[in-house]
Structure 1
Amino acid sequence: MAVATVTDWTRARPQPSWLARLLDYKPFLVVACLLPAVGLLTVFLTYPLGLGIWLAFTDTKIGRSGVWVGLENFEYLMSDPQFWSAVFYSIFYTAVATFGKFGLGLWLALLLNNHLPFKSLLRAIILLPWIVPTVLSAIAFWWIYDPQFSIVSYVFVDVLGVRDKYFDFLGTTWPARWSLIAANIWRGIPFVAISLLAGLQTISPSLYEAALLDGSTAWQRFRYVTFPLLLPILAIVMTFSIIFTFTDFQLVYAITRGGPVNSTHLMATLAFQRGIAGGELGEGSAIAVAMIPFLVFATLFSYFALARRKWQQGEAND
């Protein structure tokens, strides 16, 4: 009886099945968890991107399948003045709007980082331009810029009497371009301000106290404490801001539809006009594909700027 008891106690445990071992294998779990997300991204992002690139090398039109034409669409765009006008305005629009959003957004973030009455309410109010649907914002600006019913013109002409005639914001090229940039800046400031405010609140107050003890000025504290510690967040926020601004479609199309005389077309709106409204899917896709190098450059610029900052601080790159 004693021998039987010892034999049962020393009996080897059964080995786990292959399925149990597989579920305990960490690399398999990582792949299994990521596979649904990767599958969705492949279906909804990779496939449309691949189809767009394929169409850019064909002469496909709406209602008619095309044939492979190689670089013919791109060669045509290289000699198209309207395409180069859209490229110029896309770069100009992105550069000016991004700097405007960052200048005003950083100022607002620094202001809200101080001890102010009703600070939480102010933060909520500042978010309103960003959370309002883009089309509603565009309609509001379309009313502000209207040549007959503009509230700005009414104030300057009928109330203050400093002008004899109403402003024509959207009737000529450069006023229309600047008007769109102003609308984009107004809409994008909250995103930049709240993002930078979150970064400001991660900076330890002891750093500012030490700088004050050293007799630093407000500018020196910003230059040597605030800005270096905000730089990683600045790089990320700037990347998203550049991408959102360069690919802006709704605001421009709802306010001007590319006018007057196609002078306010961005590459995104021109691609839509040629590809969908005009039926030239191949040409519209070529314009959309031509946007990719600009977006890749903006992303790489931000990445290397962040990596350079980490290298200066002695941190390892991820």
Structure 2
Amino acid sequence: MAISAVSDTTLHEAPPPRRQRLLEDERWLAFVLLVPTIVLLGMFIAYPFIQGILLSVTSSRVGMRGDFVGLANFYKIFNDGIFRTAVYNTFLYTGVTTVFKLALGLWLAMLLNRNFRGKAFTRAFILLPFIIPTVLSTFAWKWMFDPTFSVLNWLLYHLGLITGRINWLGDPDLAMISIIIVNIWRGVPFFAISLLAGLQTISPELNEAAAIDGAKPWQRFWHITWPLLLPVTMVVMLFSVIQTFADFQIVYVMTGGGPANATHLFATYAYQIGIGTGLLSEGAAISLAMFPVLFLVVVIQLLYIRRVEVR
């Protein structure tokens, strides 16, 4: 009789509430957890991006809504010599800095991966350029490149390498080299720490086995370390290219796009046109002009990362 009573109770047990059933469904639970992220992305990324597109096809100015003009703004900036200079500078700036940050970051990561006294302090010290606020550190660099109070000029003069002052930020070529140096200085710690994390995942036994077989250090690096580190390297380079391509703070603080608009990048020129002169529609068009190029670069890198991981 007891067994029969328990069976009847189990058969007639009330089903769980509908809300509980929905939460137990992984699809609905995933959607609920993603809602805050979707809202934030919509507010701070999707909405400004759509507004930028709408502005770029109008004649809007500060305080004026403007009329629809189609692709006239894009046609105007493509015939602008300063815009072409900004395009060239952006690719040069991104390419040179990425190569040097990768080379120096990999070198530092290999050094920090060794066992030595004060290793933890050294790793923390390496991160300082990346931790310090960009504007603050850039102002320090601007003082170092100042033609009158430059510590670099003082050092080079006392070493006998120069006989007069060098106007680092007043010469177009030297100004470009200066902002590239600052970007490399700031970006190397990110590469070093990220690649160091990748090196930590590589088993030392692989290098030890290769050393026993007679492989030289550069052979062990090229055939063991580098292939295993390549997926991490590509991800780090992807983030670096995105950040460098849209860089604004370093150039704006150091040169403001000068001298004579010679160091403008996409972001600084868009700011100068959109905010400095009040031509919001043209500034939006300049900002959007870098989107297809950056999107193509990101897609190519992602496909290459996928290929490396599968291989």
TM-score, scaled relative to structure 1: 0.94
Cα distance, 1:147 vs structure 2? 0.4
Structure 1 CA distance, aligned partners of 2:298 and 2:203? Answer: 29
One-letter amino acid of the counterpart of residue 23, structure 2: L
Q: Paired residue for 1:43?
A: 43
Cα deviation, 1:168-191, whole Å, max 9, x if unaligned, reads: 111111111011100100010000
Residue 7 of structure 1: CA displacement?
4.6
Letter in 1 for 2:162: R
1:270 corresponds to: 269
Q: Could you tell me how far 1:214 is from its partner in structure 2?
A: 1.3
What SS does structure 2 have at the residue aligned with 1:48? helix
d(CA) in 2 for partners of 1:285, 1:178: 28
Which residue number in structure 2 is paired with residue 236 of structure 1? 235
Residue 286 of structure 2 corresponds to 287
Aligned equivalents of 2:19 and 2:194: distance in 1?
45
> Deviation at 1:19?
2.2
2:221 aligned residue: 222
Residue by residue, what CA displacement relative to the aligned partner does 1:235-283 show, whole Å, maximum 9, x if unpaired? Answer: 1000000011111100100010000000000010000000001100000
Q: Give per-residue Cα distances to partners, 1:198-249, cap 9 Å, x unaligned.
A: 0000000110011111111111111111110011101100000001111110
Query: By how many angstroms is 1:92 displaced?
Result: 0.3
Query: Is 1:206 matched with 2:205?
Result: yes
Alignment partners' CA distance in 1, 2:26 and 2:120: 44
In structure 2, what is the Cα distance between the partners aligned to 1:14 and 1:155?
84
Equivalent-residue separation in structure 1 for 2:199 and 2:5 (angstroms): 68
Q: Which residue of 2 aligns with 1:260?
A: 259
Deviation, 1:167, is 1.4
The whole-number CA distance in structure 1 between the counterparts of 2:272 and 2:265 is: 10
> Structure 2 vs 1, CA of residues 8 and 246 (structure 1 numbering), >3 Å: closer, same or farther?
closer
Bigger drift between 18-27 and 7-16 goes to: 7-16
In the other structure, the counterpart of 1:167 is: 166
Structure 2: which amino acid aligns with 1:76?
K
Q: Helix, strand or coil for the counterpart of 2:295? A: helix
How far residue 131 of structure 1 moved from its aligned partner, in angstroms, is: 0.6
Q: Which residue of 1 aligns with 2:246?
A: 247
- Once residues 19 and 304 of structure 1 are traced to their aligned partners in structure 2, the CA distance between those partners, rounded to angstroms, is 41
Structure 2 match to 1:32: 32
Question: Quick one: which amino acid aligns to residue 109 of structure 1?
Answer: A
Establish whether residue 99 from structure 1 lines up as the match of residue 133 from structure 2. Answer: no
Q: 1:120 to 1:16 in 2, by over 3 A?
A: same
2:176 pairs with 1:182? no
Flag the 1:7–1:155 CA change in 2: closer, same or farther, 3 A: closer
Which SS does the other structure have where 2:100 is aligned?
helix
Aligned partner of 1:249: which letter? Answer: F
Closer, same or farther: CA 162–78 of 1 in aligned 2, 3 Å: closer
Q: Which amino acid aligns with 1:237?
A: V
1:108 — aligned with what? 108
Task: After superposition, give the CA deviation of every residue in 1:45-64 in whole Å (9 maximum; x if it has no partner).
Answer: 10001101111111110111
Q: Which amino acid in structure 2 is aligned with residue 53 of structure 1? A: I
Amino acid at match of 1:65: R
- How far 1:17 moved relative to its partner? 2.4
How many aligned residue pairs are there? Answer: 309
Instruction: Decide which moves more: 259-268 or 287-296.
Output: 287-296
Name structure 1 gaps, 5 residues minimum: 313-318
The structure-2 alpha-carbon separation of the partners of 1:8 and 1:232, relative to structure 1 and needing over 3 Å to count, comes to closer
Aligned residue for 1:297? 296
Large movers: runs of 4+ above 6 Å: none
**Range 20-29 or range 216-225, more displaced:** 20-29
Aligned to 1:143: 143
Runs of at least 5 residues in structure 2 that lack an aligned partner in the other structure: none
2:17 aligned with 1:17, yes or no? Answer: yes
Deviates more, 1:252-261 or 1:288-297: 288-297
- Deviation (angstroms), 1:160: 2.6
| Gap change, CA 1:186 and 1:8, over 3 Å in 2 | closer
2:297 and 2:194 mapped to 1: Cα distance? 19
Give the corresponding residue for 1:86: 86
CA distance in 1, matches of 2:166, 2:263: 18
Name the CA distance, whole Å, in 2 between partners of 1:9 and 1:293. 66
Looking at structure 2, the residues matched to 231 and 7 of structure 1 have their Cα atoms a distance apart, in angstroms, of: 65
For residues 147 and 264 of structure 1, the distance between their equivalents in structure 2, rounded to whole angstroms, comes to 18
Over 3 Å counting, the alpha-carbon distance change for 1:13 and 1:188 in structure 2 is same
**Cα RMSD, aligned residues only:** 1.4
Letter in 2 for 1:82: I
- Matching residue's letter, 2:185: W
How far apart, in 2, do the equivalents of 1:147 and 1:8 lie? 92
The code of the aligned residue for 1:137 comes to S
Structure-to-structure mapping, 1:128-139, within 5 angstroms: 128-139=128-139
Give the drift of 1:43.
Answer: 1.0
